[in-house]
Structure 1
Amino acid sequence: MNSPADVWAKILSLMEADMTATTINTWFDDAKAVSLDANRFVLHTPSNFKRDIILSRYLPSIKKALHELFSSEFDVVVLGEGELQEFTETAKPVDDGSFMPGTEDYTFERFVVGSSNKFAHAAALAVAENPAHSYNPLFIYGESGLGKTHLLYAIAHRIHQNHPDFRVIYLKGDTFTNELVQAIREGRNEEFREKYRSADVFLMDDVQFIAGRESTQEEMFHTFNTLYEAGRQIVFTADRPPKEMLRLDDRLRTRFEWGLPVDIQPPDYETRVAIIKNKAIRRGMNLPEPVLQYIADNITSNVRQIEGTVNKILAFQELMGESVDVDTVIRAVRDMCKDKADFLPSPDVIIEEVCKFYNIENDALRGQGRTKDTALARQIAMYQIRRMTNLSLKEIGKEFEGRDHTTVMHSIDRVEKLMKTNPEVAEIIKDLNSNINARYDN
């Protein structure tokens, strides 16, 4: 494990990209790291004046550096004159396994096991109990909201509990891409590689987001090889099995399938009832049987939506002061029982996701640029808006600097033809659908 002093040295190194050496020497020359725990970093400077300056001017830079190092949000405490001794005397070491802030509830003990997820749960537990010896890599796939991320967190917590000295890294596929792009721009390639290739346990959520990105896949290939050859545990999640990721490099697809691919299916009725009971009890509610049955019959798509339903019922009860019966539940969750078609993404969200996918500026996509990539991205954005919203062709054209409706129609026709003849375009549309829908997940 890195000591607080080591971490502070790395933080200062990262901050050099945003401020001058004079600034760092002036305000941080006598600052020392005191403590680093689950989600808090404590710094001490003997001057109250410097403490106030650090808090008012440089706190965001310190938090940014911590996030780059650990892919996690940290609180930062800066102690001043006379505060160090008090802190040392009152601080008590705590290790409750919550080294990943905000994930404390996502453990194996709180994962409701049913026929739809029993195999994935057993495989994840085996990996957590014996990392890098059972099923490496483990590849968990299934639709959004079924518990894949819960299992990743559970693996991380169990390994941390059994091996507190292990360096466990959790991140999402798009985070890996974004950090790589930033590292290349800033000339920090080696630092990026050291961060991920030195992990004892490497957990990546939504790995499908790296497909089709050449430089990201190249980096992932070497990261995977380094970790695997060093005997480190690797776990991926995705919304589909590797063989269905058409834009994924063959060499990565092969490696993802080396270990054990396992799927999670939507929960059956009995599992939904068990999940609802579990969530309700943990929120201090005892739901009547008719209410349980109603929710289980109507909220069927995923675990995340079930949890959101229970939370909404509790909020409704607290705010309205009504007892929980079926009529109350119907009023409280009426919008959650609507057809998915009732939840329409905005054109801005669709355009934003297309821009992010193609790494294109919003103005360029909406504007008159005619490069090959920009033109195709614009056509795909028009197609997605037409398919996922109720906007007319004329209204879609207004989103793109007033283009004529015939131009929009031509773009939509071209994308539809490409989807039939070009598997890569069909895969891009599928990825964009996942990204856009994820923005509206509850």
Structure 2
Amino acid sequence: MKQIPLSLGPEPTLSFDSFLPGANAAALAHLQGLSAGSPPVFLWGAHGSGKTHVLRALAQRWQQQGGQVGWYDLNTPLPWGVDANQSLLLMDDCDLFDADRQHAAFALFVEAATLGLAVVASGALPPVDLAVREDLRTRLGWGPVFGLQPLSEPEMRAALRREADRRGIFLSDEVMDYLLTRFARDLKHLMQLLDRLDVFAMSHKRGVTVPLLKQMLADADEEAKP
């Protein structure tokens, strides 16, 4: 019987402190200077570029300063509305919104403009290329638009190393090289893989090595077979 390890330590906080800016310093600086009534901001980038992390970091910062935040994404049940105390509205993955959510998102923009609320939204593409209704596209692209750039390889290594240190994992250069050459360089995916590897290593009471990583992947393939 395999030991099932308990989660050790807090999960990483999605804050500006835990986000490596890379080439995105201008976008982060703009967001950190945002105030109620500022023009809406749109963040776009490929899956894993950090859009959700940045929105969560902004929500945390806003709340620490005493503000209230509304969060809307594909999993937020309809109908959508604005609480009287909210001053910031965040919409994540707008490119995934169906017709009803696009209608709800446009209504949020109208209400935000009336009440003087800040709005920050995200998507996989810039507003001009999103497959959304035209009035919503206009609202999404009304203010500053920032394309989030992926981390360079040294920055990716630094992010993985920092997360491994937080977990108390020794991540050798051999394991790091294997992760970065065998898997998509999507930081979100790599962090999830590191999480699985941490749990797998603890359950087997072994250090993190390339052979252990290969065993974990092989076991997952076996479990996935019908």
Whether TM-score is above 0.5 comes out as yes
* C-alpha distance in 2 between matches for 1:225 and 1:327: 55
* C-alpha distance in 1 between matches for 2:134 and 2:152: 34
Matched, 1:201 2:102: no
The amino acid that maps onto 2:195 is: N
What is the DSSP-based 3-state SS (H/G/I as helix, E as strand, rest coil) of the residue aligned with 2:206?
coil
* C-alpha distance in 2 between matches for 1:325 and 1:194: 49
Structure with the bigger percentage of helix: 1
State the shift of 1:103 in Å: 8.1
Matched, 1:110 2:9: no
C-alpha offsets along residues 155-194 of structure 1, whole Å, 9 cap, x if unaligned?
01111112x1x2211121452xx412xxxxxxxxxxx545
Corresponding residue to 1:142 among 18, 24, 45 = 45
State the shift of 1:273 in Å: 0.7
On the 8 A contact 2:91/2:121 being kept in 1, the answer is: yes
The amino acid that maps onto 1:325 is: T
State the shift of 1:286 in Å: 2.4
* C-alpha distance in 2 between matches for 1:324 and 1:103: 19
Q: Could you say if the C-alpha distance between residues 147 and 251 of structure 1 is closer, same or farther in structure 2, counting changes exceeding 3 Å?
A: same
C-alpha offsets along residues 85-106 of structure 1, whole Å, 9 cap, x if unaligned?
xxxxxxxxxxxxxxxxx98710
* C-alpha distance in 2 between matches for 1:150 and 1:324: 26
* C-alpha distance in 1 between matches for 2:178 and 2:52: 27
What is the DSSP-based 3-state SS (H/G/I as helix, E as strand, rest coil) of the residue aligned with 1:240?
coil
Q: What pairs up with 1:187-336 in 2 under 5 angstroms? A: 193-195=81-83, 199-211=86-98, 213=99, 216-246=101-131, 248-333=132-217
C-alpha offsets along residues 360-387 of structure 1, whole Å, 9 cap, x if unaligned?
xxxxxxxxxxxxxxxxxxxxxxxxxxxx
Identity in percent:
25
Compute the RMSD of aligned alpha carbons.
2.9
Q: What pairs up with 1:5-404 in 2 under 5 angstroms? A: 105-115=13-23, 118-119=24-25, 122-132=26-36, 136-162=39-65, 164=66, 166-175=67-76, 178-180=77-79, 193-195=81-83, 199-211=86-98, 213=99, 216-246=101-131, 248-333=132-217
On the 8 A contact 1:272/1:300 being kept in 2, the answer is: no
State the shift of 1:281 in Å: 1.0
On the 8 A contact 2:74/2:97 being kept in 1, the answer is: yes
Q: Could you say if the C-alpha distance between residues 298 and 104 of structure 1 is closer, same or farther in structure 2, counting changes exceeding 3 Å?
A: closer
**Please, which runs of 5 or more residues in structure 1 have no aligned partner?**
1-101, 181-191, 345-442
State the shift of 1:294 in Å: 2.0
On the 8 A contact 1:173/1:206 being kept in 2, the answer is: yes
Q: Could you say if the C-alpha distance between residues 264 and 194 of structure 1 is closer, same or farther in structure 2, counting changes exceeding 3 Å?
A: closer
C-alpha offsets along residues 183-236 of structure 1, whole Å, 9 cap, x if unaligned?
xxxxxxxxx5453x762000111112335x1x5444433321221343311011
Rg larger for: 1
What is the DSSP-based 3-state SS (H/G/I as helix, E as strand, rest coil) of the residue aligned with 1:108?
coil
Q: Could you say if the C-alpha distance between residues 227 and 240 of structure 1 is closer, same or farther in structure 2, counting changes exceeding 3 Å?
A: same
* C-alpha distance in 2 between matches for 1:319 and 1:218: 47
* C-alpha distance in 1 between matches for 2:218 and 2:151: 21
**Please, which runs of 5 or more residues in structure 2 have no aligned partner?**
1-9
What is the DSSP-based 3-state SS (H/G/I as helix, E as strand, rest coil) of the residue aligned with 1:179?
coil
* TM-score, normalised relative to structure 2: 0.80
On the 8 A contact 2:74/2:96 being kept in 1, the answer is: yes
On the 8 A contact 2:49/2:186 being kept in 1, the answer is: yes
Q: Aligned residue for 1:399?
A: none
State the shift of 1:323 in Å: 2.7
* C-alpha distance in 2 between matches for 1:103 and 1:239: 26
Bigger relative CO (Cα 8 Å, ≥ 6 apart): 2
* C-alpha distance in 2 between matches for 1:168 and 1:216: 18
* C-alpha distance in 2 between matches for 1:278 and 1:300: 19
State the shift of 1:110 in Å: 0.8
On the 8 A contact 1:173/1:208 being kept in 2, the answer is: no
Q: Size of the alignment, in residue pairs?
A: 214
Q: Could you say if the C-alpha distance between residues 156 and 244 of structure 1 is closer, same or farther in structure 2, counting changes exceeding 3 Å?
A: same
* C-alpha distance in 2 between matches for 1:153 and 1:294: 30
What is the DSSP-based 3-state SS (H/G/I as helix, E as strand, rest coil) of the residue aligned with 1:169?
strand
What is the DSSP-based 3-state SS (H/G/I as helix, E as strand, rest coil) of the residue aligned with 2:109?
helix
On the 8 A contact 1:269/1:297 being kept in 2, the answer is: no
The amino acid that maps onto 1:225 is: V
